[in-house]
Structure 1
Amino acid sequence: MNILIKNAQLNGSEIDIYIEGKYIKQIGKDFSVQADKVIDATKKAVVPGFVNAHTHAAMTLFRGYGDDMPLMPWLEQKIWPNEAKMTREDVYWGAKLACLEMIKSGTTTFFDMYHKFRGTADAVEEMGIRAVISGVCFDHFQPEQAEKCKSNNIKLYSEFDEYSDRIKYAIGPHAIYTVSGELLQWINKFSSERNILIHLHLSETEEEVENSIKHFGLSPVRYLYKLGVLSPRLVIAHGIYVDRDEIRMLADHGVKVVHNPASNMKLASGIHFQFKEMKEAGIMIGLGTDGCSSSNNLDMVEAMKLASLLGKAWRKNPEALTAGEMLKAATESGASILDIKAGRIEEGYLADLSLVDLNIPAFTPNFNFVSNLVYAANGSCIDTVICNGKVLMENKKVPGEDEIMERAAQVAYNLMTR
């Protein structure tokens, strides 16, 4: 399908965008083209689709369950026991609800880590969104579990190409306290041979750092350095508790970092994410929401605001973490982390974009669109979403959304009673 978007606002100018297939073909004004679909974007601004660079999509089923608890008791008492009961169908409906929520708030790509890979992949395929999905790994330092993890991921990698090119495979070791050093080294080799990303929680809490020093004799980043697994393929989520030397180690090895302000605050993991220091060191930084059980929504507009305000507050510096920096982290940087040619409204880039409704109070007056988007709006400002050259939402409505919400709620209630 070819799409012509007319009269959209971009950088203060009114432009048209011609989409041919899955790419942005032309940007300008008054094209002489024939399009299968014409979208009037009057009183709307165009932005790149957001990239949610750290999610656990199917955890929408746990939204509001086990709130106001510390990280480890929350995981051990509320999350892990119920996750053990989940079926592929549970994950499918949880992920489908997540895709719906992300589409409605302007996200076109997400980086996921969760059990039942195929449940998430099936939901992504049907919803038309784009995702990098991690084959999750735990071995809890038990050799037989490590072997099972290896064989599962070898099988997943050999089969995932049955899905469309909107879905990419990554490998997701959960954390250094649930995955042995030997398995992390195997994962690094597996990743290197196939040129795939590694998705890992790291340095999320003070307790994690203390336990790393206690058990391994080193802080988390230094431990990974000793194992030889720091590389440009490694993407770490959180990275709150890192010192100057560790930032240098991450930068020297091309490691990427994803900031998750909502879950960091809600779980009281920490507030001092060193965005400025990492950026100055040359580290690419993306933004994520984390799962809905630890952030309660998947709204990347809200994530941009939280990241900016949190960074300003602890530094006591209103110039820190500007709105423009946050928008770039939520779009272009996230796409670069995932090695996807998206995140920019530019000819030759993937047609992953959203139209923002300017006819709402958050954009009145509209002295500075980016500031209003980051500081005044939320995900409900998104009117239209296009991913891979296909319209996924128009006039704030996604086909079948009521059925998805109803069915996902039933699945969640049934899971908790099993």
Structure 2
Amino acid sequence: MANLLIKCMAVLTMDGKGDIIRNGEIAVEGSRIFHVGPAGSTPEGFSPDRVLDYPRMVAMPGLVNCHTHAAMTLLRGYADDMPLMQWLKEKIWPLEEHLTPGDIYRGTLLSCAEMIRGGTTTFADMYFEMDQVARAVDESGMRAVLSRGMIGFGPNAESAMRESREFVRRWHGGAGGRITAQFGPHAPYTCPPEYLKRVMAAAEELGVGIHIHLAETADEIKQIKEQYGKSPVVLMEETGLFELPVLAAHCVHLDDRDIEILARRRVGIAHNPQSNMKLASGVAPVTRLLEAGAIVGLGTDGAASNNNLDLLEEMRAAALLQKVSIGDAAALPAYEALRMATVEGARVLGLGDKVGRIKPGMQADIILLDTRRPHLYPVFDLYAHVAYAASSADVHTVIIDGRVVMEDRRILTLDEDAVLEEAQSAAEGLVSRREAVKNG
């Protein structure tokens, strides 16, 4: 693996507020960051194989997408403008029954290309046929936290358990250490406590965490309270789920007790503002969660409910949504939103010691933004520029694990034209199979 020396206009290290290195440089040795500092400060003896000299670029940590369903890019635009349960039951689940392993591979490759172009270097995914997802991650060069979605009742409950165990054994630490495997019980309303306890035992045995949807809709809160007499968060607490590392997606409908539990138990929370808005699921109390000391990152959810995987856009939406929902223009300021997309997102996924900051010893997941754009002038506050003005089209170069995977807007790990054509063909075939069955 090549040693790199990156020279740029500024480095946003995300290793402490105000810690911007103007006219900075980053030395990358193999897959790790060796040094970061002002121009000319790299220790003598470091010998770069390549120098990336970009005087108009801003370097920052790669973005972290804490929750998505990558292969659902194939369903983008298939079903819109419907509430969650109707959307799932009438459109998404019936179509997903016709997905093939090849479809999932092609849909995931499409999502990887989209995320790389938008500066996302790490993502968390819950779906099925996860070997195909892992294969796509490996080929694209991305970093990912992957879990096989599990429904705890019905004919597939046992196969989901078996396949999840096999997937964790096969892929945890895979792709040169870029893949982390987890168990993925779908939600409290699809995985009863008895099943969750079996999932927890398997996760503890194999030394991995859990990815679950939690407190996403008002209907979920109503159903769980009617069935168990308590909120989904309290139910998970009493079931013992939070004894393990947990990635909880959404966490929209929370009371004070729920927030206290999530903060105390150090549950990683994936906030998905645009999906929650589009499905009318509600507004997560992010400001209150942060005030309580909870760990909150950002996710896009799947492209069928967003409809893109643009984390820069998600960051802006998160900040603006908190401001308008609580009537406070100072809520979730630019720097805090940027932390959610980088260092806090890494902590949510249990990767805080590896990625999310530009610091010696961390894995070299770095993106370069081209600031020579009309919408990024004049320059006053770089944090605000990234959080409120930058777009995915500004991402010029992406480095993951020390490897340049995109440079000058050209993805180097994938044949992008082939990815697009094969994804289109897969999506059309999927819908055709569904319509053939539907029409008898």
Same fold (TM over 0.5): yes
Task: Give the one of 384, 388, 407 matched to 2:422.
Answer: 407
Moved more, 119-128 or 22-31: 22-31
Q: CA deviation at 1:232?
A: 4.8
Q: Percent identity?
A: 41
Instruction: Tell me, in whole angstroms, the C-alpha distance in 1 between the residues paired with 2:277 and 2:285.
Output: 15
Alignment correspondent of 2:202: 190
Instruction: Tell me if 1:6 matches 2:7.
Output: yes
Task: Give the one of 25, 31, 54 matched to 1:16.
Answer: 25
Secondary structure, aligned partner of 2:156: helix
Q: CA deviation at 1:163?
A: 3.8
Alignment correspondent of 1:233: 245
Taking the TM superposition and a 5 Å limit, the aligned residue runs for 1:311-350 are 311-340=322-351, 341-350=354-363
**Per-residue deviation, residues 48-94 of structure 1 (Å, max 9, x unmatched):** 00000001000000111101111111101111111111111100010
Task: Give the one of 286, 289, 304 matched to 2:315.
Answer: 304
Secondary structure, aligned partner of 1:41: strand
Moved more, 145-154 or 48-57: 145-154
Q: CA deviation at 1:274?
A: 1.4
Secondary structure, aligned partner of 1:164: helix
Amino acid paired to 2:233: V
Instruction: Tell me, in whole angstroms, the C-alpha distance in 2 between the residues paired with 1:396 and 1:243.
Output: 44
Task: Give the one of 380, 387, 401 matched to 1:367.
Answer: 380
Alignment correspondent of 1:201: 213
Instruction: Tell me, in whole angstroms, the C-alpha distance in 2 between the residues paired with 1:146 and 1:405.
Output: 34
Alignment correspondent of 2:437: none
Contact 2:204–2:244 (Cα < 8 Å) also in 1? no
Moved more, 3-12 or 388-397: 3-12
Amino acid paired to 1:415: L
Amino acid paired to 1:283: A
Alignment correspondent of 1:357: 370
Taking the TM superposition and a 5 Å limit, the aligned residue runs for 1:273-292 are 273-292=284-303
Instruction: Tell me if 1:264 matches 2:276.
Output: yes
Instruction: Tell me, in whole angstroms, the C-alpha distance in 1 between the residues paired with 2:65 and 2:231.
Output: 27
Secondary structure, aligned partner of 2:72: helix
Amino acid paired to 2:314: A
Q: CA deviation at 1:192?
A: 2.1
Alignment correspondent of 1:25: 34
Task: Give the one of 76, 84, 97 matched to 1:84.
Answer: 97
Contact 1:231–1:255 (Cα < 8 Å) also in 2? no
Alignment correspondent of 2:436: none
Contact 2:128–2:149 (Cα < 8 Å) also in 1? yes
**Per-residue deviation, residues 213-259 of structure 1 (Å, max 9, x unmatched):** 11222211121122222235111111010100111122222212111
Contact 1:262–1:306 (Cα < 8 Å) also in 2? yes
Secondary structure, aligned partner of 2:34: strand
Task: Give the one of 38, 47, 61 matched to 2:60.
Answer: 47
Q: Which runs of 5+ in 2 are unaligned?
A: 12-19, 434-440
Instruction: Tell me if 1:149 matches 2:145.
Output: no
Contact 2:267–2:348 (Cα < 8 Å) also in 1? no
Instruction: Tell me, in whole angstroms, the C-alpha distance in 1 between the residues paired with 2:395 and 2:140.
Output: 17
Q: CA deviation at 1:7?
A: 3.0
Task: Give the one of 99, 108, 111 matched to 2:121.
Answer: 108
Q: State the TM-score, normalized to the length of structure 1.
A: 0.96
Contact 2:108–2:136 (Cα < 8 Å) also in 1? yes
Q: CA deviation at 1:339?
A: 2.3
Instruction: Tell me, in whole angstroms, the C-alpha distance in 2 between the residues paired with 1:402 and 1:100.
Output: 10
Instruction: Tell me, in whole angstroms, the C-alpha distance in 2 between the residues paired with 1:8 and 1:171.
Output: 42
Q: CA deviation at 1:6?
A: 1.6
Instruction: Tell me if 1:172 matches 2:181.
Output: no
Instruction: Tell me, in whole angstroms, the C-alpha distance in 1 between the residues paired with 2:369 and 2:151.
Output: 40
**Per-residue deviation, residues 79-128 of structure 1 (Å, max 9, x unmatched):** 11111111111000100010000000000000100111011100000000
Task: Give the one of 60, 64, 72 matched to 2:85.
Answer: 72
Instruction: Tell me, in whole angstroms, the C-alpha distance in 2 between the residues paired with 1:231 and 1:337.
Output: 15
Amino acid paired to 2:68: T
Instruction: Tell me, in whole angstroms, the C-alpha distance in 1 between the residues paired with 2:391 and 2:244.
Output: 32
Secondary structure, aligned partner of 1:269: coil
Superposition RMSD in Å = 1.3
Amino acid paired to 2:144: A
Contact 1:363–1:369 (Cα < 8 Å) also in 2? no
Q: CA deviation at 1:176?
A: 1.4
Q: CA deviation at 1:164?
A: 2.7
Secondary structure, aligned partner of 1:230: helix
Instruction: Tell me, in whole angstroms, the C-alpha distance in 2 between the residues paired with 1:52 and 1:265.
Output: 17
Contact 1:173–1:179 (Cα < 8 Å) also in 2? yes
Contact 1:132–1:169 (Cα < 8 Å) also in 2? yes
Amino acid paired to 2:237: Y
Task: Give the one of 25, 43, 47 matched to 1:34.
Answer: 47
Q: CA deviation at 1:145?
A: 3.3
Amino acid paired to 1:128: G
Q: CA deviation at 1:12?
A: 5.3
Task: Give the one of 117, 121, 129 matched to 2:130.
Answer: 117
Moved more, 354-363 or 152-161: 152-161
Contact 2:210–2:244 (Cα < 8 Å) also in 1? no
Instruction: Tell me, in whole angstroms, the C-alpha distance in 2 between the residues paired with 1:199 and 1:41.
Output: 38
Moved more, 233-242 or 209-218: 209-218
Q: CA deviation at 1:395?
A: 0.5
Amino acid paired to 2:293: G
Moved more, 80-89 or 91-100: 80-89
